[in-house]
């Protein structure tokens, strides 16, 4: 990532006004430095060369105090604006990353560690505080202040200006060289931290399973090893940071010393007066100071810069291309897939190949087939989380039909109630989890659908963790079904709704599906168990692509021989 990356400024728009204000405040700071040096040189000259008393320099001393106060105020304003801008920029960046990740869909999120994403959007974005609040302001000061002070020095002493002009660029040159070397170590440190954080969160999530199989202590040892690698990586970064800071400080000190020696020789020789010599000598360190501070702030912001690279990778991941020219057709919906093929981005083998099938309006269609035949992929296509590589998905409403690729994804998802294999639970009550299906639903509606899904009133007030702990697997499935009923959408997608359920809970699911059909909704369910398949008006049976030249779906209940069913 570059020192001032326009891509980051694009996503964190709060920094734009801040950068303009920083340039203005930087120029004002440079002016106060010049006035301060002029007053200080005049006071010292008057006292030591002209023998002035305290009364005669009273106004100059008051002016110098005022300049000191103004400079302190400008520094305070710079910090205040920087931290306010940093907070807004981090908020905008976090919202942009999360929003883009959601738009990229489940396929993208499944390809990344949950812990890694949490680490990136948490500490990763927080680490940018030093970048926005410290590094960027200092970078702008390093541009504005040396130019202004260099011009003033040039107007007073050509030789000193030449020395400053020659030695000043050496500092950013060494900063670039040190930065290249340091950034690689910081990147490795950040990757190690991301691995440690993601691994730790994933282990915590799977701790019950690890305890059951006696692998908890082994995973603790693995976490300890990753933690040791992070500790060593951090110490390597700190070692390089301290050494590089020493190099930059030494270079700046030697440069100022050269200016001081040249001024001293001419002052002794009588070719320069004391006031001019002091004026230039006071300005010279101030010209180098912003660049020295940039080096220090760069190391403080290095972790955030590394995290920003990953953030930008997510933000620049292209969304699935879609024409998306309008909303979904109104009324009850039917779907027709015509010669649809589909493959995952990281695979060359097609999951679906020339599939043609229909999901009639107001009826229940069961999607069956062995593992790996593309059942879940078919639902991903219908949800518009994936786009077909060939073929078309037609959506038919009351008055018109249109291709799914022409429908805005948000408008389309608003027509769907979806029950995944593992319903997501959020920390809170069962009541609030059901209400996620329709956040504006009243209490009576939530209680009604909970009753339909077989949940008793006392269950509604039970408190869940974000992993769903607090209720059984069957109850989590019922909560998911209650959400589906509460959404009251024309198209219902159910991904193995009776998986891992006992016969009683399975019957509750079957009753809910029958109610959905009675209400005229189009139901598409992935099913394996006979109790649900017998409910279907139509069956779409899939086979793995490698076993066939093309997938031909069979419609019509009972036409596909299945275990436990009579054809």
Query: Span 126-149, mean pLDDT?
Result: 84
| pLDDT tens track for 138-154 | 888 888 888 988 899 99
Q: Would you place residue 203 in the very low, low, confident or very high pLDDT band (cuts 50, 70, 90)?
A: confident
CATH 3.40.50.300 positions along the chain are: 334-415+489-547
Q: Would you place residue 561 in the very low, low, confident or very high pLDDT band (cuts 50, 70, 90)?
A: very low
Whether the pLDDT of residue 2 is over 70: the answer is no
Dist CA 213 CA 219 (whole Å): 12
Q: What share of the chain is helix, strand, coil (3-state, %, to 5)?
A: 65, 10, 25
Sign of CA dihedral 471, 475, 481, 487: negative
Q: Cα Rg for the chain, rounded, in angstroms?
A: 34
Per-residue model confidence (pLDDT) at position 334: 87
Q: Would you place residue 72 in the very low, low, confident or very high pLDDT band (cuts 50, 70, 90)?
A: very high
Whether the pLDDT of residue 359 is over 60: the answer is yes
Weakest mean pLDDT among 128-142, 331-345, 539-553: 539-553
Whether the pLDDT of residue 557 is over 70: the answer is no
Whether the pLDDT of residue 63 is over 80: the answer is yes
Residue 498 and residue 345 in contact, taking contact as beta carbons nearer than 8 Å: no
Q: Strands 352-359 and 428-429: what pairing?
A: unpaired
Class of domain 6-315: mainly alpha
Per-residue model confidence (pLDDT) at position 250: 84
Residue whose C-alpha is closest to residue 433's, from 472, 473, 466, 474: 466
**CA 544 distance to own-chain centroid:** 36
Per-residue model confidence (pLDDT) at position 422: 83
Identify the bridge partners of residue 396 per DSSP, sorted by sequence position.
Answer: 334, 401
| pLDDT tens track for 206-255 | 777 777 777 777 777 777 777 777 777 777 767 776 777 777 788 888 88
The token pair that represents 287 in the structure block = 């010209």
Whether the pLDDT of residue 31 is over 60: the answer is yes
Alpha-carbon dihedral angle through residues 332, 333, 334, 340, given to the nearest 10 degrees: 180
Residue whose C-alpha is closest to residue 18's, from 82, 75, 73, 74: 82
Per-residue model confidence (pLDDT) at position 556: 47
> Which superfamily does CATH assign the domain made up of 334-415+489-547 to?
P-loop containing nucleotide triphosphate hydrolases (3.40.50.300)
DSSP characters over 343-388: --TT-SS-SEEEEEEEE-TTSEEEEE--TTSSHHHHHHHHTTSS--
Specify the pTM.
0.63
Residue 332 and residue 362 in contact, taking contact as beta carbons nearer than 8 Å: yes
CATH 1.20.1560.10 positions along the chain are: 6-315
Q: Is 331 left (phi over 0), alpha (psi -120 to 50) or beta?
A: left
């Amino acid at each position: 990532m570059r020192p001032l990356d326009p891509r980051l400024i694009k996503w964190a728009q709060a920094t734009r006004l801040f950068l303009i204000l920083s340039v203005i405040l930087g120029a004002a700071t440079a002016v106060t430095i010049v006035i301060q040096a002029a007053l200080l040189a005049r006071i010292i000259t008057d006292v030591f060369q002209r023998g002035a008393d305290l009364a005669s320099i009273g106004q100059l001393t008051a002016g110098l105090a005022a300049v000191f106060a103004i400079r302190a105020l400008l520094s305070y304003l710079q910090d205040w604006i920087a931290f306010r801008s940093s907070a807004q920029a981090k908020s905008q960046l976090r919202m942009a990353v999360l929003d883009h990740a959601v738009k990229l869909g489940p396929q993208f999120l499944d390809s990344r560690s949950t812990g890694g994403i949490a680490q990136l959007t948490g500490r990763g974005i927080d680490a940018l505080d030093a970048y926005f609040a410290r590094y960027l302001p200092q970078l702008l000061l390093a541009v504005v202040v040396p130019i202004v002070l260099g011009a003033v020095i040039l107007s007073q002493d050509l030789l000193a200006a030449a020395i400053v002009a020659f030695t000043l660029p050496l500092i950013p040159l060494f900063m670039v060289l040190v930065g290249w070397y340091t950034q690689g170590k910081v990147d490795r440190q950040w990757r190690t931290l991301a691995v440690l954080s993601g691994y730790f969160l994933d282990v915590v999530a799977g701790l019950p399973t690890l305890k059951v199989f006696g692998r908890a202590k082994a995973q603790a040892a693995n976490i300890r090893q990753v933690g040791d690698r992070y500790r060593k990586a951090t110490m390597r970064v700190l070692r390089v940071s301290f050494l590089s800071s020493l190099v930059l400080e030494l270079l700046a000190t030697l440069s100022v010393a050269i200016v001081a020696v040249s001024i001293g020789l001419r002052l002794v020789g009588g070719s320069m007066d004391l006031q001019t010599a002091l004026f230039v000598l006071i300005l010279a360190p101030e010209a180098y100071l912003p660049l020295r501070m940039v080096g220090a702030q760069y190391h403080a912001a290095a972790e955030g810069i590394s995290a920003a690279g990953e953030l930008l990778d997510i933000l620049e991941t292209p969304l699935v291309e879609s024409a998306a020219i309008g909303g979904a057709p109104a009324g009850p919906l039917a779907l027709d897939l015509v010669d649809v093929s589909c493959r995952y981005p990281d695979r060359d083998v097609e999951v679906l190949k020339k599939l043609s099938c229909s999901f009639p309006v107001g009826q229940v269609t069961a999607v069956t087939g062995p593992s790996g035949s593309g059942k879940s992929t078919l639902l991903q296509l219908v949800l518009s989380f994936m786009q077909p590589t060939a073929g078309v998905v037609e959506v038919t409403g009351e008055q018109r039909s249109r291709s799914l690729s022409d429908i805005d994804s948000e408008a389309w998802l608003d027509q769907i109630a979806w029950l995944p294999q593992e319903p997501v639970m959020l920390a809170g009550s069962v009541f609030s989890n059901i209400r996620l299906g329709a956040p504006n639903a009243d209490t009576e509606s939530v209680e009604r659908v909970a009753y339909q899904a077989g949940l008793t009133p006392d269950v509604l007030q039970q408190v869940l963790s974000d992993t769903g702990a607090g209720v059984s697997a069957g109850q989590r499935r019922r909560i998911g079904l209650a959400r589906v009923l509460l959404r009251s959408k024309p198209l219902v997608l159910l991904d193995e709704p009776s998986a891992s359920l006992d016969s009683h809970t399975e019957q509750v699911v079957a009753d809910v599906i029958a109610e959905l059909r009675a209400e005229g909704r189009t139901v598409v369910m992935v099913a394996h168990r006979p109790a649900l398949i017998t409910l279907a008006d139509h069956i779409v049976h899939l086979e793995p692509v490698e076993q066939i030249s093309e997938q031909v779906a069979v419609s019509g209940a009972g036409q596909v021989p299945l275990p436990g069913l009579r054809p």
